[in-house]
């Protein structure tokens, strides 16, 4: 029987459709595989880069006379947040990290700040130690990181912001590390407060809500409050909020208050010799 040319042609078109459809599926499968592979490589590179930077900075900032193992420090660090909901990482998640790499006290040279980060770091350079000058603080200052449930990767983007949720990895780290930094403060410490603020001592900021509450009686002898203003415009040592600060200090801790303009502090620092005489 002769084949029906019309039906035969129809069957051929179907075969072509099947072939084209099969090719399309194959191409799609290849694209999916490539995307998955590329994504995995990107995630892996992202984790590897962050890890390499962390360990490198850890080694660079660790004193030679200590036995800190920066690979161990990294392991303790990532254990706090990897594989976890980035809004469910409480401060205590970093307890192990702080036991492996605790802040080292610098008696009579520990400097705290609130609303004065830039000037505090300029004044502290080479003479005082802020939380950001500690090993972990210096490594992680300005960094963003988080994990995701079901993943063993470290992410440096797409992480919750500081105020997006309380228990995010970055905020929790600074809360826990700041508490530990304050707990080892010894001798005479100082804090630079923003005298241009309506509330120089803010009980809701890190200094007011965490650090002051963790000062150790007997270990820390005094706290010098330096009110930093612009051109003598702003609060002075009689500010009402400072009375609240005095109430927060543990019995036996001496309270001192001084007023300085930002330009006075920076000029003093610029002209300071190697003696590190306080600029307040």
Q: Which residues are catalytic?
A: 107, 186
How distant, in Å, are the alpha carbons of 12, 102, 202 from that of 141?
67, 16, 22
Structure tokens at 241: 């909020």
Structure tokens at 263: 């330009």
The one-character DSSP state at 28 is: H
- Three-state secondary structure call for residue 155: strand
| Alpha-carbon gap, residue 143 to 29, rounded angstroms | 37
User: Judging by beta carbons within 10 Å of its beta carbon (0-12, 13-18, 19+), is residue 86 exposed, middle or buried?
Assistant: buried
| Alpha-carbon gap, residue 31 to 26, rounded angstroms | 9
SS3 percent helix, strand, coil of the chain, rounded to 5, is 50, 15, 40
Strand order in the sheet with 254-261: 111-114, 187-194, 220-229, 254-261
Strands in 86-179 per DSSP E: 111-114
- Three-state secondary structure call for residue 82: coil
């Amino acid at each position: 029987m002769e084949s029906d040319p019309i039906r035969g042609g129809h069957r051929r078109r179907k075969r072509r459709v099947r072939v084209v459809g099969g090719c399309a599926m194959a191409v799609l499968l290849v694209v999916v595989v490539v995307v998955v592979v590329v994504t995995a490589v990107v995630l892996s590179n992202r984790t590897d880069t962050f890890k390499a930077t962390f360990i490198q900075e850890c080694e660079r900032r660790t004193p030679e006379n200590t036995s800190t193992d920066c690979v161990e420090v990294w392991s303790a660090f990532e254990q706090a947040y990897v594989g976890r909901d980035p809004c469910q990482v409480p401060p205590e998640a970093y307890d192990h990290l702080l036991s492996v790499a605790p802040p080292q006290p610098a008696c009579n040279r520990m400097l705290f700040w609130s609303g004065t980060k830039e000037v505090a770091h300029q004044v502290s350079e080479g003479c005082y130690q802020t939380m950001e000058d500690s090993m972990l603080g210096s490594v992680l200052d300005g960094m963003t990181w988080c994990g995701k449930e079901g993943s063993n990767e470290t992410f440096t983007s797409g992480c919750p912001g500081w105020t997006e949720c309380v228990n995010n990895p970055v905020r929790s780290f600074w809360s826990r590390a700041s508490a530990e930094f304050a707990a080892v403060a010894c001798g005479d410490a100082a804090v630079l407060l923003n005298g241009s603020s309506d509330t120089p001592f803010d009980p809701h900021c890190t200094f007011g809500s965490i650090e002051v509450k963790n000062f150790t009686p007997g270990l820390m002898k005094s706290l010098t409050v330096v009110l930093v203003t612009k051109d003598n415009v702003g609060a002075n040592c009689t500010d009402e909020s400072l009375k609240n600060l005095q109430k927060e200090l543990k019995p036996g801790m001496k309270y001192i208050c001084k007023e300085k303009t930002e330009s006075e502090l920076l000029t003093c620092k610029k002209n300071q010799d190697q003696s590190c005489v306080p600029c307040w």
